[in-house]
Amino acid sequence: MSNFLINIIGPTAIGKTSLAIAVAKHFDTEIISADSRQFYKEMKTGTAVPETEELEAAPHHFIQHISVEEKYSVGDFERDAIKKLDELFRKRQVAVMVGGSGLYIKAVTEGLDDFPEVDPEIREKLNSHLEEDGIDWLQQKLFALDPEHYKNIDEQNPHRLIRALEICMATGKTFSSFLNKEKPGRDFKTISIGLTAEREIIYDRINKRVDMMIENGLVEEAKKLYPKRELNALNTVGYKELFQYFDGNTDLETAISEIKKNTRRFAKRQLTWFRKDPEIKWFEFDEDRQKIFNYLEEQINA
């Protein structure tokens, strides 16, 4: 009998958590979180970590399990998530994974691409360029060395830019050339479903979520993390804009507006990533849950 991983994806603020809990309860199973921002204990409000009652409604894994000061790569997540899935599949046939971090989802469902080791000095030089020349320098450099990968990357994420550049500079080959090689097999089948909506609806949901985060104490949370602002985990939407406010470079109203704008851009990039996958079955964000359950049961019993 096959094991099945139900993979629930979609842009931020679309309602993935609510659906994942409903699906997990329907199949009496547990949830793997593949939202890389929700891994960190100190980043509860700004990453929309599920509420306590939601976490209690169905068992969740990989939510607030590490500190922002710990290094935790996509490779670490792949290893840990596969180990947890092995445990879950010993007890049940179905597990659920939910999140909007495309690379982390891909690592679990398909396996990571095999990249060579890189001299740490290259990364140090690239970090120096980031500090001295800004993210624009990294963007221009990657566009010159690997325009194909540049089209697909989150160009506002310096960690991803540096990772791609260090491979290019260390090997003399493009980052893209290491992608899509043969990967390890998985002993489960993946059923991917996506939630979507008209752009105006997605943007409205994002704006309302950011307002709720502010109301729930995001400014205070970011203030506590401000002394650690140089950490990679904190170079993310919702925090970096407030750090600019704390620096005196902008006012609070502008910082909140920038959070909304950058979150909308992030949602657009998420959809661009996911829509490349023809295996995803898309549903409207307010689709009747029973129709989704029926689809999943048909796939499992096919």
52 annotated binding-site participant: no
Q: How far is CA 74 from CA 104, 188, 274, in A?
A: 6, 20, 18
The rounded distance, in Å, linking the Cα atoms of 180 and 138 is: 24
The rounded distance, in Å, linking the Cα atoms of 89 and 226 is: 41
225 contacts 233 by C-beta, under 8 angstroms: no
16 annotated binding-site participant: yes
12 annotated binding-site participant: yes
171 annotated binding-site participant: no
Query: What sign for the dihedral angle of Cα 152, 229, 257, 12?
Result: positive
SS3 246: helix
Q: How far is CA 66 from CA 69, 122, 225, 276, in A?
A: 8, 27, 15, 31
32 annotated binding-site participant: no
Q: Which tokens go with 173? A: 């080959």
The rounded distance, in Å, linking the Cα atoms of 60 and 54 is: 9
Where in the chain does DSSP place strands (E)? Answer: 4-9, 31-33, 60-61, 94-98, 189-196, 281-284
Count CB neighbours of 238 within 10 A: 27
For residue 151, how many C-alpha atoms fall within 13 Å in the half-sphere facing its CB? 4
The rounded distance, in Å, linking the Cα atoms of 67 and 133 is: 29
The C-alpha torsion from 76 through 82 and 85 to 86, rounded to 10°, is -130
Residues in binding site for substrate: 12-17
Residues in binding site for ATP: 10-17
Residues in binding site: 10-17
